[in-house]
Amino acid sequence: MPVYRYCLLTLVCPLLLFWGCGSGENHQKEVVASGTIELTDGWARPGAKGMMSAVYLTIRNKTAYPDTLAGVSSDVAREAEVHESYKGENGMSAMRPAPDRVIKSGDNLYLQPGGLHIMLIKLKDDLAAGDSVNVLMEFRHSGARNVRLPVQAQR
């Protein structure tokens, strides 16, 4: 019996050591060391309860890899989506969902009036100038980023 235990330990211990070496911690440290996603210059429009508002900001990808804005949410609205403005067939401005926006390494994604933006749909309360909103942004590689933004009249 002692020989059996010795053989088992001889086989299992090296496997545990190698398994521990591949835990992924080094990869995570490389990602953190290579940069981050920065959220700057953000603001939200005022809006009435039950209606919509829009959020604008700049997303800077300072990581060493492309990342994807995969989703957004906010505690002030029942729904939140990334939208883009465009000219419809009749020449009128319109909006449509614009999910999964890829941001290349070193690039910026500008969410601004007349272009890409975050729509806050079915506001839970009025948003007035001077208030602030929390927006949670989900990135495919960098994970979740929360940002608190002021509510302002159009800049």
pLDDT per position as a tens digit, 3-31: 444 443 344 444 333 334 444 433 322 23
Q: What is the pLDDT of residue 128?
A: 98
Q: From CA 141, how far away is CA 82, in angstroms rounded? A: 18
- Contact indicator for 127, 76 with CB cutoff of 8 Å: yes
Domains of the chain, earliest start first: 37-151 (2.60.40.1890)
In one-letter notation, the amino acid at residue 52 is: M
Q: What is the pLDDT of residue 2?
A: 53
Strand order in the sheet with 143-150: 101-103, 67-74, 132-139, 143-150
- Contact indicator for 139, 145 with CB cutoff of 8 Å: yes
**Minimum mean pLDDT range among 4-18, 68-82, 105-119, 134-148:** 4-18
Q: Residue length, the chain?
A: 155
Residue 78 token pair: 């029942």
Tens digit of pLDDT for each residue in 48-101? 999 999 999 999 999 999 999 999 999 999 999 999 999 988 889 999 999 999
